A and B are shown apart, each in its own frame.
Chain A
């Protein structure tokens, strides 16, 4: 069929973030054992409780087994062949952005995240993470005036140890799962956010994660705490160079919302996905979870997942507080030989808790795209409600889409609603748009963004435009 080939060409990916920054780095030797963990902890000058946290996690991890229930196909990961700490060499203490290596600033410039005073984005504060370390955080003083703490987690360990000790691992326990345990043992850096009582964070906060080294893993850790009646919108972006080996990324994100607080967490994930034959690409095993601890608290996840060879990710909400709200809006696009297994868990514990799930999966090429989600109504979740909608779109006839909804309810007086649909971009639809003068590529991209509209509407404005562009780019190629 003529169109089959056209579709194949159109979904050919172009990845414009695949460059490597040539910079001297400080790396420790490959492998994982107690000494390596002690070394990481020493390098970061950590207090003893944190070293013990790491060692305990490592011990638990050694007793755990890598999960395979998602039936993802990949060669076994050799955990002894990974470098667990890699940092660009720079001066010991950096007091201002002017002292950051220009090569690093240039890298983030190229990624569209300018950091310097003159060029920095005006409406969003950025924490830029390069391999294992945070290299800069913008607008810190301005945020501090509102009492908002936004810094790297390493700094938070030094300056806000009480908060770290209280909340680290309180949402995702060390033993939660294999990859979370690994992260707890070796996490290097990440972002820390604290919004004090009653404060609406005056600007969006964002982290940009950049993997540069081919042989090191990235294990960042993010912790966001929203005190009573506070609110924050947090954005996360990620890219990596094109290597023909696989890089492991195992992050943990923990969110805590107290009474009447709200956290909106948006991700555009564009790690390198590997080439058309499935060589290279990031293995993305991520644990993200939010705890709606307080009454009427709200946690909203939105994600646009387009990159990575493998995505294994289930941003979840523990709805404890009465009338708390959890939301999950997701677009996952897979192409070539990418595999994505993503979804959410909404655990309703408190009464009158509410959750909404909207998932849009788009599979092209030979890729495999699954939604996997759990909705659980606990015994006390009287009057709780959930609404789930899971739609899949297939492009071409080699891709696959699956939906695995898991539903359990121990409370009769609760409602769970689930809708699912699958559609295929048909030749007739394409011909109709083309017969109106619309180019083939644009026709596909119009239909894909139409399909994702419910989710894009949930993204912060600039992010939505970027996500739309990103999807179009992923589907771009040479026609004919």
Chain B
């Protein structure tokens, strides 16, 4: 029995794109302080799941609902969800030429602060805040004056994502393959950043293929996704078993179902 209400409650979610079904009945509950991991083969629907939670316009929800802090957010715009505290860390962060990273971070942070009825920050106050947060991901302030993600290496883009998470202080963070394309040092920096930001009032969903991220950030629950469904849920040792046996091992779960 859990004492508090879940932050995120996804209930029997079906979604499709261009009439092609992608999610086929996904349910997941994330309570404050919990870390969940979703694992599965390429194309199983993990990334799509994260985009749908964030409100990507290319997908239609055909059944079920997404409940966030007690409200059905299924029909909200992506920016409304973000302002309310849903954060998606992109697998492939998008480059926006001409838009300065600093200005982007400031506008974004202020949109969230406005929602929280906190005072919006001017350029000077924001620079102080962002310098403090740069420490978390060991980023150089030179990145602030460049265009958003433009010319950033894979690792720099991922660190920029975690910087955004640190600034926005979300209630739920869904991190889509944040570990992909990182070398061991960068992985440690990103993982330690996530741990520093996390607290017992927020939930985290890590989407990953590999155990190595979960060695750094130990999940409370591991879900295995296949063909748009969660086919097995377990503790952190489920990930270790997956690592040992490979995804072929999970094919039997589908049969069990």
Residues of chain A whose beta carbon lies under 8 Å from any beta carbon of chain B: 1-3, 423, 426-429, 431-440, 442, 446-447, 449-453, 480
Q: A433-B104, A436-B111, A437-B82 are in contact. Are A450 and B97 (CB under 8 A)?
A: yes
B54–A423 touching, CB < 8 Å: no
Bitwise, B53-80 to A at CB < 8 A (1) or not (0) is: 0111110000000000000000001110
Bitwise, B16-53 to A at CB < 8 A (1) or not (0) is: 00000000000000000000000000000000000000
A450–B148 Cα gap in the complex (Å)?
A: 11
A436–B164 touching, CB < 8 Å: yes
Q: A431-B56, A436-B111, A438-B108 are in contact. Are A447 and B99 (CB under 8 A)?
A: yes
Query: In the assembled complex, how far is the CB of residue B158 from the closest CB belonging to chain A, in whole angstroms?
Result: 14
Name A's interface SS: helix
A432–B97 Cα gap in the complex (Å)?
A: 13
Bitwise, B76-120 to A at CB < 8 A (1) or not (0) is: 011101110000101001101111100110011001100100000
B233 interfacial contact with A, CB 8 Å = no
A442–B107 touching, CB < 8 Å: yes
Q: Which one of A426, A436, A447, A451 lies within 8 Å of B108 (CB-CB)? A: A436
Cβ contacts under 8 Å, A447 to chain B: 96, 98-99
B168 interfacial contact with A, CB 8 Å = yes
A435–B99 touching, CB < 8 Å: no
A447–B56 Cα gap in the complex (Å)?
A: 19
B79–A437 touching, CB < 8 Å: yes
Report the interface size class on chain B.
Answer: 20 to 34
A434–B112 Cα gap in the complex (Å)?
A: 12
B96–A435 touching, CB < 8 Å: no
B55, B79, B107 — most chain A CB neighbours (10 Å): B79
Cβ contacts under 8 Å, A440 to chain B: 77, 79
Query: In the assembled complex, how far is the CB of residue B49 from the closest CB belonging to chain A, in whole angstroms?
Result: 14
A439–B79 touching, CB < 8 Å: yes
A434–B78 Cα gap in the complex (Å)?
A: 6
A442–B94 Cα gap in the complex (Å)?
A: 17
A2–B57 touching, CB < 8 Å: yes
A3–B244 Cα gap in the complex (Å)?
A: 44
B57–A431 touching, CB < 8 Å: yes
B12 interfacial contact with A, CB 8 Å = no
Cβ contacts under 8 Å, B108 to chain A: 433, 436-438
Cβ contacts under 8 Å, A2 to chain B: 57
Cβ contacts under 8 Å, A428 to chain B: 94
B147 interfacial contact with A, CB 8 Å = yes
Q: Which one of B83, B88, B97, B164 lies within 8 Å of A423 (CB-CB)? A: B97
Q: Which one of A427, A450, A453 lies within 8 Å of B96 (CB-CB)? A: A450
Residues of chain B whose beta carbon lies under 8 Å from any beta carbon of chain A: 54-58, 77-79, 81-83, 88, 90, 93-94, 96-100, 103-104, 107-108, 111-112, 115, 147, 164, 168
B97–A451 touching, CB < 8 Å: yes
A428–B83 Cα gap in the complex (Å)?
A: 19
Residue of B nearest to A451 (CB): B98
A428–B47 Cα gap in the complex (Å)?
A: 14
A429–B94 touching, CB < 8 Å: yes
Residue of A nearest to B107 (CB): A438
Cβ contacts under 8 Å, B115 to chain A: 437
B111–A437 touching, CB < 8 Å: yes
Query: In the assembled complex, how far is the CB of residue B162 from the closest CB belonging to chain A, in whole angstroms?
Result: 13
A2–B58 Cα gap in the complex (Å)?
A: 8
A447–B79 Cα gap in the complex (Å)?
A: 16
Residue of B nearest to A454 (CB): B98
A433–B103 Cα gap in the complex (Å)?
A: 12
A13–B107 Cα gap in the complex (Å)?
A: 24
A427–B108 Cα gap in the complex (Å)?
A: 18
Q: Which one of B58, B83, B98, B112 lies within 8 Å of A450 (CB-CB)? A: B98
Residue of A nearest to B95 (CB): A429
Q: Which one of B58, B77, B98, B104 lies within 8 Å of A436 (CB-CB)? A: B104
Q: Which one of B82, B94, B107 lies within 8 Å of A446 (CB-CB)? A: B107
A423–B98 Cα gap in the complex (Å)?
A: 12
Cβ contacts under 8 Å, A450 to chain B: 96-100, 147
A437–B88 touching, CB < 8 Å: no
Extra pairs beyond A2-B57, A434-B78, A450-B96 (20, CB < 8 Å): A3-B57, A423-B97, A426-B94, A427-B57, A429-B94, A431-B57, A432-B93, A433-B104, A433-B108, A435-B90, A437-B111, A437-B168, A438-B107, A438-B111, A439-B111, A446-B99, A446-B107, A447-B99, A450-B97, A450-B99
Cβ contacts under 8 Å, B77 to chain A: 434, 440, 480
Cβ contacts under 8 Å, A432 to chain B: 90, 93-94, 96
Cβ contacts under 8 Å, B103 to chain A: 446
Query: In the assembled complex, how far is the CB of residue B111 from the closest CB belonging to chain A, in whole angstroms?
Result: 4
B79–A438 touching, CB < 8 Å: yes
A442–B97 Cα gap in the complex (Å)?
A: 15
Cβ contacts under 8 Å, A423 to chain B: 97
Cβ contacts under 8 Å, A449 to chain B: 98
Cβ contacts under 8 Å, B56 to chain A: 431
A1, A440, A447, A450 — most chain B CB neighbours (10 Å): A450
Q: Pick the 3 closest A-B CB pairs, nearest first.
A: A450-B98, A437-B111, A437-B82
B83, B98, B104, B111 — most chain A CB neighbours (10 Å): B98
A435–B168 Cα gap in the complex (Å)?
A: 11
B107–A435 touching, CB < 8 Å: no
Residue of B nearest to A439 (CB): B79
A450–B96 Cα gap in the complex (Å)?
A: 9
A2–B81 Cα gap in the complex (Å)?
A: 17
Query: In the assembled complex, how far is the CB of residue B169 from the closest CB belonging to chain A, in whole angstroms?
Result: 12
B82–A435 touching, CB < 8 Å: yes
B78–A431 touching, CB < 8 Å: yes
Query: In the assembled complex, how far is the CB of residue A447 from the closest CB belonging to chain B, in whole angstroms?
Result: 6
A sample of 21 cross-chain residue pairs with beta-carbon separation below 8 angstroms, ordered by A number, consists of: A426-B94, A429-B96, A431-B54, A431-B78, A433-B108, A434-B55, A434-B77, A435-B54, A435-B79, A436-B79, A437-B112, A437-B168, A438-B104, A440-B79, A447-B96, A447-B98, A447-B99, A449-B98, A450-B96, A450-B97, A451-B97
